[in-house]
Structure 1
């Protein structure tokens, strides 16, 4: 059965602490998730507390919403406050476990402007994806912006999501040759530096 995914990126209101924001957002979702038409799955991902030490993250978290139809996703993908919404098609590059205590890294990417959308998607999936699989993460999936959502107003053209057992594992990986080669290849299809959010997941459905 086809599943239609929507990524919802969210920032906390000015003056609200990250802890209160995350608790409030989670409570709101728990109260409403069962009433959303066509919703099959919902995962809310909160930025780690350590992510606030050096600088303010671009977003405080993101939700992954899975719908039974494109129409159900479209109904929820209309502008809603300051949320950034990315309707995406998922390609699992490395299937693997998704432990509830895993660290999830989401990297928000932009297409290099001289590449056509189709060429960008193919390179990311068929060339960069296999190269990145030399990195020992638990799971790796690419979330490609749907063709219908390609618009200059959309801030990002996709999201790479990877799962690690711990932040210590991530630090070890960042010093590896496989990681260096993967990062070097990004210049072949990405535009600039990609914001990264390190998160923990809360699966509600």
Structure 2
């Protein structure tokens, strides 16, 4: 599976509700027309989160979309289609295209915790949060990815509301997406990945934030992440819209 994420920010002067409607009702259906797209999910920011939980204020982004193709070849073929060009042309109607530079990436998905089977057919698991991360500048990137997967991730799974009753996916940025919509090493990534967690509900999330295991996780974050980047607008509660399961 080949996965790509596009982080997004709305242009100045465009109302939040207008932008969200366009993203959902115009841009989303255009994306669904792109050949080979197997899965497509929009995530629209609802509120920022800090070290103690949901807070007030603004975020540094307005959401992100993820798309899945069977493999890199099918993705590459899709980028040359008129349907993709229609989607790109519509982007300027709803996104700050200059900000997008370096904020789209090919991803390696690491599932740390699958959703509980009991969620199927229920409303549970719809409280979703994301932490967009950048590694500390003094760390080797390959070693940082390994630490995130094999140490920080298991620490998060010690939190009951994640490791037992929730779901948790890490998305490791591999390469940036360039001007031709293809992965490239010529563009500097503006982030190194993001973690997504789904909780049974808001109460479960709040319980997690109060746990000693959460405090351990935050403390360990300083060993790996640029914490100023993380907490100054790059973590958020999301409205998840599964456009194609």
Please list, as runs of the form range in 1=range in 2, the aligned pairs for 1:160-179 lying within 5 A after superposition.
160-179=195-214
CA contact 1:91–1:141 (8 Å) conserved in 2: yes
More divergent stretch after superposition (13-22 vs 150-159): 150-159
Q: 2:174 matched to which residue of 1?
A: 146
15-24 or 52-61, larger mean C-alpha shift: 52-61
Instruction: Please say if residues 45 and 62 of structure 2, whose CA atoms lie closer than 8 Å, have aligned partners that are also in contact.
Output: yes
Number of the residue aligned with 1:86: 105
Deviations 1:76-106 (A, max 9, x none): 7xx9724321211000011114766612111
Q: Aligned to 1:28, what secondary structure does the other structure show?
A: helix
After superposition, the C-alpha distances for 1:144-203 in whole angstroms (9 at most, x for unaligned) are: 111565667211001111111222322221111010001100111112231202101111
Equivalent residue for 1:34?
A: 32
Give the alignment's TM-score, normalised by structure 2: 0.73
Residue 29 of structure 1 deviates from its aligned partner by 3.2
Residue pair 2:32, 2:40 contacting (<8 A) in 1 also: no
Q: 1:144 to 1:165 in 2, by over 3 A?
A: same
Which structure: larger Rg?
2
Structure 1 counterpart of 2:218: 183
Specify the alignment match of 2:179 in structure 1: none
* Displaced runs of 4 or more, over 4 A: 50-53, 97-101, 147-152
Residue 18 (1) aligns with residue 37 (2): no
Query: 213, 233, 237: which one pairs with 1:198?
Result: 237
CA distance in 1, matches of 2:156, 2:14: 37
Q: Which runs of 5+ in 1 are unaligned?
A: none
Q: Which runs of 5+ in 2 are unaligned?
A: 50-54, 92-96, 176-182
What is residue 52 of structure 2 aligned with on the other side? none
Secondary structure class of the residue paired with 1:39: coil
1:74-113, aligned counterparts within 5 Å?
75=79, 81-82=97-98, 83=100, 84-97=103-116, 102-113=126-137
Distance 1:184 1:174 in 2: 13
Secondary structure of the corresponding residue to residue 20 of structure 1: helix
Please list, as runs of the form range in 1=range in 2, the aligned pairs for 1:60-75 lying within 5 A after superposition.
Answer: 60-73=62-75, 75=79
Q: In structure 2, what is the Cα distance between the partners aligned to 1:149 and 1:111? A: 19
Q: CA RMSD in A?
A: 2.4
Q: What is the aligned residue count?
A: 200
Shift of 1:21: 1.2
